[in-house]
Amino acid sequence: METEKWTDTTEALALLARQRKVWPMAKAGYEALDNVKVKRLHIDGLEFKVQYNPARILSSGAKTDAQSLRERPCFLCPSHLPPEQEALPMGERYLLLCNPYPIFPEHFTIASRRHMEQQIYTSFSDFLEIAQHLSGFTLFYNGPQSGASAPDHLHFQAVTPSYMPIDEEAGLHKGTPLLKEEAGAIYRLSGYLRNGFILESGTAERAASLFKHLYKVLPLAGDDTEPRMNIFCRYGEGRWQVIIVPRKVHRPRQYYAEGDEQILTAPGAADIGGVFITAREQDYEKITPELLRDIYGQIAFNDAGINRLAGGEC
Ligand SMILES: [Zn+2]
C-alpha cells in the first residue's frame, strides 16, 4: 500500500506561489482577483462583501444538469487537469489543487482522486481530516444542489481564514446548546439571515456522529440526493468547529427573471459566508441591502424555520 502523504498549510501556500509563477491561467486568475471591485454592505449589523468578479461567469452561469455534466470533460478528474496544474496528495483518496478562478486570496480545491458524486454523508470524516491537515484555512463544502459547480465529482475547498464574515460572526450568533456532552455540542446559529447549526468537538469520531444526527433532521427535497446545505469547517487548538447552513433553494427567483430584474447568481458557501459573488457589473451595481435580505430569505432558513428544524430532534 502506498504511504499516506498529506499536504499541510505551509506546503499548500508554497504550491500557490509556484502555480502563480508557472501556470498562466492561475497567474491571470489571481491578478484579476487583485483588481476585483468589492463593496461592503450591512444588514442588522451583519457584514456582506459584494464582489464583482467577471471570471466567475463560468461558475455562476454553469449548467449543472445531468446532461450538461455528461457532455463536458470533468475539470476535477486527474486525467483532465491542464499540464501546468500541479496536484499534491491529501492522503490516499484526495488531491490538493489551486483554484485558477479564485474568489479568495488563497483558494484551493481538494478533489477526490476518483470521479464520484458530491456527497457529504459518506465523506464527512474525510472533510474533518482534511481540515485538520489544513489547519489555519477555512474549509467548505457545497452540496450538489447548493452551489457545487462539479456536483458529479466529490470535492471540498480551502480558503483564506476570516475573509468570509461568517468566520467571525458565527460565534456571536451561537445560541444555547441544543445538545451538549463532554465530547461535543450542537448549537443553533440564529438571528443570522442564513441560519443553521454549529457543531463543536475535540474528537473526529464524535464530530462525525453529531453530524449524522443532524443530517437526519434536515429536509430532503424531491429528487435530491442529499439535504441541501453548505458546510464550513475549521480546526484549531485540538477542536473542530463545523457550521452547517441548510438551504431552501439553490437560486433565488431573480436568477430566472428577465431583463432588468435578472441577477446572475449561483449562491454557494462563499455567498452564504457573506461574500456575495456577482459576475456581471450590472448585477454588482444593483445589489442593495434590501435585495440581499430578499435573496438570503429565499435561499436559507429564517429564525422560525431553523427552530422548526431543530424542534424535537436535537
Ligand atoms: Zn471527475
Chain segment 127-137, per-residue pLDDT in tens: 999 999 999 99
- List, for residues 105-122, the tens digit of each pLDDT value: 999 999 999 999 999 999
- Mean confidence (pLDDT) of the chain: 94
What's the rounded mean pLDDT across residues 25-49?
95
Residue 66 neighbours by CB distance under 10 Å: 9
Cross-strand bridge partners of residue 81: none
Rounded to the nearest angstrom, the distance between the alpha carbon of 68 and the centre of ligand 1 is 13
d(CA 257, CA 50): 20
What SS3 string covers the chain? Answer: CCCCCCCCHHHHHHHHHHHHHHCHHHHHHHHHHHCCEEEEEEECCEEEEEEECHHHHHHHCCCCCHHHHHHCCCCCCHHHCCCCCCCEEECCCEEEEECCCCCCCCEEEEEECCCCCCCCCCCHHHHHHHHHHCECEEEEEECCCCCCCCCCCCEEEEECCCCCCHHHHHHHHEEEEEEEECCEEEEEECCCCCCEEEEEECCHHHHHHHHHHHHCCCCCCCCCCCCCEEEEEEEECCEEEEEEEEECCCCCHHHHCCHHHCCCCCCCHHHHCCEEEECCHHHHHHCCHHHHHHHHHHHECCHHHHHHHHCCCC
238 vs 69, higher pLDDT: 238
pLDDT number for residue 3: 64
Using the mean position of ligand 1's atoms as its centre, give its distance from the Cα of residue 105 in Å. Answer: 25
Residue 189 C-alpha to ligand 1 middle, in angstroms? Answer: 34
Where does the pLDDT of residue 18 fall: very low under 50, low under 70, confident under 90, or very high at 90 and above?
very high
Q: Which of 58, 19, 268, 52 lies closest to 155, judged by CA? A: 268
Instruction: Give CA–CA dist 97/109, Å, rounded.
Output: 5
Distance CA 215, CA 23 (A): 40
CA 153 to centroid of ligand 1, rounded, Å: 5
| Gap from CA of 81 to ligand 1 centroid (Å) | 10
- Distance between CA atoms of 198 and 17, rounded to whole angstroms? 33
Instruction: Calculate mean pLDDT across residues 205-233.
Output: 95
Distance 114 CA to ligand 1 centre (A): 7
Is 2's pLDDT higher than 60?
Answer: no
Strand partners, 242: 199, 233
pLDDT digits (tens, 9 = 90+) for 162-201: 999 999 999 999 998 999 988 999 999 999 999 999 999 9
- What domains, with CATH codes, occur in the chain? 9-170+198-310 (3.30.428.70)
Q: Measure 75 CA to ligand 1 centroid, in angstroms.
A: 6
Instruction: Report the separation in Å between the CA atom of 250 and the middle of ligand 1, taken as the mean of its atom positions.
Output: 22
Instruction: Give the pLDDT band (50/70/90) at residue 314.
Output: very low
Centre of ligand 1 to C-alpha 18, Å, is: 24
C-alpha cell at 183: 465530547
pLDDT surpasses 70 at 99: yes
∠ CA 296-161-4 to the nearest 5 degrees?
A: 115
For residue 117, how far is its CA from the centre of ligand 1 (angstroms)?
Answer: 9
Owner of C-alpha cell 443553533? 188
Distance 230 CA to ligand 1 centre (A): 20
Q: How far is the CA of 190 from the centre of ligand 1 (A)?
A: 36
**239-279 pLDDT, tens digit each:** 999 999 999 999 999 999 999 999 999 999 999 999 999 99
| Cα 96 to ligand 1 centroid, rounded to whole Å | 14
Mean pLDDT of 79-99: 97
Which residues have CB atoms below 5 A from the ion given as ligand 1?
Answer: 74, 76-77, 115, 153
CA distance 71 to 5: 33
Chain Cα centroid distance, residue 182: 29
Under the banding of pLDDT at 50, 70 and 90, the label for residue 61 is: low
In sequence order, which residues have a C-beta less than 8 Å from that of residue 296 and are 6 or more positions away? 193, 194
- Please determine, for residue 60, whether its predicted confidence score (pLDDT) is greater than 70: no
Q: How remote is the CA of residue 9 from the centroid of ligand 1, in Å?
A: 24
- What whole-number distance in Å separates Cα of residue 274 and Cα of residue 39? 12
pLDDT at 71 over 90: no
Q: Is the pLDDT of residue 312 over 70?
A: no
Distance from the alpha carbon of residue 76 to the mean position of ligand 1, in angstroms: 5
The pLDDT-based confidence of 82 (bands split at 50, 70, 90) is: very high
